[in-house]
Structure 1
Amino acid sequence: MTTDDWLTDIRDSYDTVAVDYADRMRGVLAGAPYLRAALALFAELVHAGGGGPVADVGCGPGHVTAHLHGLGLDAFGIDLSPAMIDVARRDRPDLRFEVGSMTDLDLADESVAGLLAFWSLIHLPDDAVPAVFDRFRRVLRPGGPLLVGFHVGTGSRLKTQGYGGHPMKVHVHRRRPDRVAAWLRDAGFTVEAHLMTDPDADVPGALLFARRP
């Protein structure tokens, strides 16, 4: 499968489920204290570095972007799905949202003070992740923090039905934190911290904090 094929599948799938996905995500952070704590720490790191624009890459309907804004960050969202961006703009017209792909990140070199990829890498095949991390490093300012969240495990599954019962066609990849950390180091990041959430669940989550030196 070519890059164009799986990117098209991701975009079309999330265009289809955008409204139902947004309804499901609305208020989800209220019941996720450890995720909120991670986002608060990320915001603290950005502020400590002097602040500046923060990119939420793969922002979906913008719920995390809005939360970061509430923490005092100049956050904006980027997502592959035009329908997701439409929902984000509808719900938060005061914030900036753009259609774009992390595989071809349309941001200037060293233009953002922080970057977040919150469970937005889970549909990328393994061979695409290192190049995406290279792009993240390119757009981050020196000293800028990166926060990556993802499903923990091994292997992949094809998701054919999603939010609201709508059809989807996306592969969901689970990854070991040490593998993701190795990709980050290869891209030139310093990995600073690792948090695992719901370690006894069928699909735990992981958060890696890294920094561009």
Structure 2
Amino acid sequence: MRDHDSVRRSYDSVAEEYTARMHDELAGKPLDRALLASLLEQTEPGAGIADLGCGPGHVAAWLAEQGASAVGIDLSAAMVEAGSRRFPQVEFRQGDLLELPAKDGEFGSVVAFYTIIHLDPADLRRAFEEAARVLRPSGLALFAFHAGEEIRHLDEWWGHEVDLDFRFFEPARIADLLEAAGFTVEMRMERAHYAHEVDTRRAYLLARRGTAA
């Protein structure tokens, strides 16, 4: 779990700065908002939506503003604390993508924006199986990640010492792993980065959990 420990410590160290800089990030991402609105429209009425690897919870907060019951889950206790202060309309939980703090079938949909990028490739399928576990039958999962095959490492971020790998994944590989975890991939999309974003190719996959128990 060394990698997870370094991710936790790194995000703990940048939590306050990250929250200050990124709390309204979606304001400059019209395609992301459109995809989230589509997810919300297709979510079973009354069912909650989990934001996996939520950071300070800005995505969950946007969903809550649209009327969703949103739950943010993040590995970093400092992120959870910072998010809870800024976005009281969101329920926050600290937890790992490989062992989510949620009941079986608790959510109608899950969102994971730039979350799997910190996972070892060997852990991806387990993470997807956990996402499937906490979803209701036919629930939806929306993933966003950097497309490619490289790894970018950070030792310093906004003046804070960190130890973070950002892993890029080819969409076809992620789609195959989602299918193996019991999902059916319904949408694949890529876009160029916005001017204010890091220069990477952005990938989105929308997948639906199977109906079998």
Both proteins in one fold, TM over 0.5? yes
Aligned-residue identity in percent: 39
Residues 155 and 163, structure 2, Cα contact 8 Å, conserved in 1? yes
Query: Partner residue of 1:120?
Result: 115
Please tell me the root mean square deviation across aligned C-alpha atoms, in Å: 1.4
2:97 to 93, 97, 102: 102
After the TM superposition, which segments of 4 or more aligned residues of structure 1 sit over 2 Å from their partners? 199-202
Task: Provide the C-alpha distance between the structure 2 equivalents of 1:205 and 1:57, rounded to a whole number of angstroms.
Answer: 18
Query: Partner residue of 1:72?
Result: 67
How far has the Cα of 1:117 moved from its partner?
A: 0.7
Query: Partner residue of 2:24?
Result: 27
Normalised to the residue count of structure 2, the TM-score between the two structures is 0.93
SS in 2 for 1:110: coil
Normalised to the residue count of structure 1, the TM-score between the two structures is 0.93
Residues 68 and 75, structure 1, Cα contact 8 Å, conserved in 2? yes
Query: Partner residue of 1:111?
Result: 106
Task: Provide the C-alpha distance between the structure 1 equivalents of 2:42 and 2:159, rounded to a whole number of angstroms.
Answer: 39
The answer to which of 11-20 and 21-30 deviates more is 21-30
Query: Partner residue of 1:83?
Result: 78
- Structure 1, unmatched stretches of 5+, are none
Question: Mapping of 1:1-213 within 5 angstroms?
Answer: 4-46=1-43, 49-162=44-157, 164-198=158-192, 202-213=199-210
Task: Provide the C-alpha distance between the structure 1 equivalents of 2:90 and 2:206, rounded to a whole number of angstroms.
Answer: 25
Between Structure 1 and Structure 2, which shows a larger proportion of strand residues? Answer: 2
How far has the Cα of 1:202 moved from its partner?
A: 3.9
SS in 2 for 1:141: strand
Task: Provide the C-alpha distance between the structure 2 equivalents of 1:178 and 1:5, rounded to a whole number of angstroms.
Answer: 28
How far has the Cα of 1:27 moved from its partner?
A: 1.8
Task: Provide the C-alpha distance between the structure 2 equivalents of 1:95 and 1:128, rounded to a whole number of angstroms.
Answer: 27
Task: Provide the C-alpha distance between the structure 1 equivalents of 2:14 and 2:79, rounded to a whole number of angstroms.
Answer: 9
Task: Provide the C-alpha distance between the structure 1 equivalents of 2:18 and 2:191, rounded to a whole number of angstroms.
Answer: 22
- 1:8-58 per-residue CA deviation (whole Å, 9 max, x = no partner) reads 100000000001111111221111111111111111111xx3331111110
The answer to which of 82-91 and 196-205 deviates more is 196-205
Task: Provide the C-alpha distance between the structure 2 equivalents of 1:5 and 1:199, rounded to a whole number of angstroms.
Answer: 31
How far has the Cα of 1:155 moved from its partner?
A: 2.0
- 1:52-78 per-residue CA deviation (whole Å, 9 max, x = no partner) reads 111111000010010011122111101
- Structure 2, unmatched stretches of 5+, are none
Residues 34 and 197, structure 1, Cα contact 8 Å, conserved in 2? no
How far has the Cα of 1:95 moved from its partner?
A: 2.1
Residues 113 and 140, structure 1, Cα contact 8 Å, conserved in 2? yes
